[in-house]
Amino acid sequence: MASLFTLANPKLAALQPYVPGKPVDELKRELGLSDVVKLASNENPLGVSPAVPIAIAAALQDVARYPDGNGFALKQAIAAHYAVDTSQITLGNGSNDVLDLIVRCFAAGTDEVVYSQYAFAVYAIATQSVGAVGVEVPALNYGHDLPAMLAAIGPQCKMVFVANPNNPTGTYFNQAALLSFIQQVPAHVLVVLDEAYVEYDPTLTDSVALLRQFSNLIICRSFSKAYGLAGLRVGFALASSGVTEVLNRVRQPFNVNSLAQAAAIAALHDQAFVEATRQHNNLGMAQMLAGLAQLGLQVLPSKGNFVCVQLPMAGQVLFEQLLKLGVIVRPLQGYAMHNFVRISIGTTSENDSCLSALKQVLGGTYV
Ligand SMILES: *Cc1c(COP(=O)(O)O)cnc(C)c1O
């Protein structure tokens, strides 16, 4: 019998599925370890605001009901926080859902979608999943080469993805570079600006201010990173009301569940937790960079809660050796970055465990 795969859209044959970080429980099961440090998925090592479990407990009373399909209260909270109108907000089951939705709404057939080499893998996956044409622009020093990306925007181009900072590289650009880029993108091409890590350095850009000027700009944000809600899946897009109307037409009516909506509102209202997260990350980043430097390792510049480390060996080999020591990092062969791993910034003791394990594997002088 022919493989059922032959029934699928032929363009899906080339699709490389997203490779998630290895779950803690899986490693515990496999190696019988009790102590595992996971620095593989850029989660918040501080957990969540104390207001979040309280909000979830209250929302639990109503789980027999469908969630608010329009996310009224969450949109009100987001609108107030960012000084935008609720007609500019699209909620998603994680920002991944929003990224996927944008591609589904605006690209098909021979339409082109431009993104950078080493950019977040979801852009290529979403593009391939609708059968549109992905145009990958070679990176510059592992970051986005914005002038080259502009030059790659041809007559068939529908949208260009830019991640700032980018995952997995951590590379970033400032407001002047962003503004100059958007100014040069034709008005009929969407600029999808993915800012999943923006809370770690809010001084980097003020992209929300650009929404007033550019109706082709879509900003994607996530509650999974600094807000610590990765397991609940909430993200959103800010855009012109015209673009937002299209996105909400195609969006599944109940794509953000009721516990997630309640948790996101509580998380957004506790900006002190976000500030604590930022400070904790700054300290952890300094600790990690100093430790990696002692080990003689080079890193890419990062403005996120993770660092991309260049290795004298294959990333996959280091990944496997660190697993045996109970430390999970992220190998990057899916990005063809064979001699790199991505390491999330954890707590002081998690960072220390990771650096000690690295020293054991690599030799070196870390103490
Ligand atoms: C983590 C991440 C996302 C997706 O986050 P969600 O959990 O789906 O909200 C989007 N973009 C980048 C660059 C990320 O690193």
Helix (H, G, I), strand (E, B) or coil at 160: strand
Distances (CA, A) of 175 to 28, 35, 290, 303: 43, 42, 28, 14
The total of other beta-carbon atoms located within 10 Å of residue 210's CB is 18
- Whether the pLDDT of residue 352 is over 70: the answer is yes
pLDDT tens figures, 212-244:
999 999 999 999 999 999 999 999 999 999 999
pLDDT at 19: 78
**In the numeric block, which tokens belong to residue 181?**
């880029």
**In the numeric block, which tokens belong to residue 362?**
């690599």
pLDDT tens figures, 125-166:
999 999 999 999 999 999 999 999 999 999 999 999 999 999
Whether the CB of 95 sits within 6 Å of ligand 1: yes
CA distance linking residue 334 with residue 330, whole number of Å: 10
In the reported structure, the alpha carbon of residue 365 is separated from the centroid of ligand 1 by a whole-number distance in angstroms of 35
In the reported structure, the alpha carbon of residue 47 is separated from the centroid of ligand 1 by a whole-number distance in angstroms of 17
Alpha helices in 83-233 (DSSP H): 95-106, 122-129, 146-151, 175-184, 207-210
User: Is the separation of the CB atoms in 94 and 122 below 8 Å?
Assistant: no
- Whether the pLDDT of residue 2 is over 80: the answer is no
Whether the CB of 198 sits within 6 Å of ligand 1: no
Place of tokens 């899916």: 334
pLDDT tens figures, 95-133:
999 999 999 999 999 999 999 999 999 999 999 999 999
Contacts of 145 (CB under 8 A, 6+ apart): 116, 137, 138, 139
Q: Which of 114, 70, 367, 366 is nearest to 236 (CA)?
A: 70
Q: Which atom of ligand 1 is nearest to the CA of 225?
A: 1
Whether the CB of 304 sits within 6 Å of ligand 1: no
CA distance linking residue 342 with residue 300, whole number of Å: 10
- If you ran DSSP here, which 8-state letter would residue 345 be given? -
**In the numeric block, which tokens belong to residue 345?**
């910034």
CA distance linking residue 350 with residue 98, whole number of Å: 32
Residues comprising the chain, all counted:
367
Whether the CB of 159 sits within 6 Å of ligand 1: no
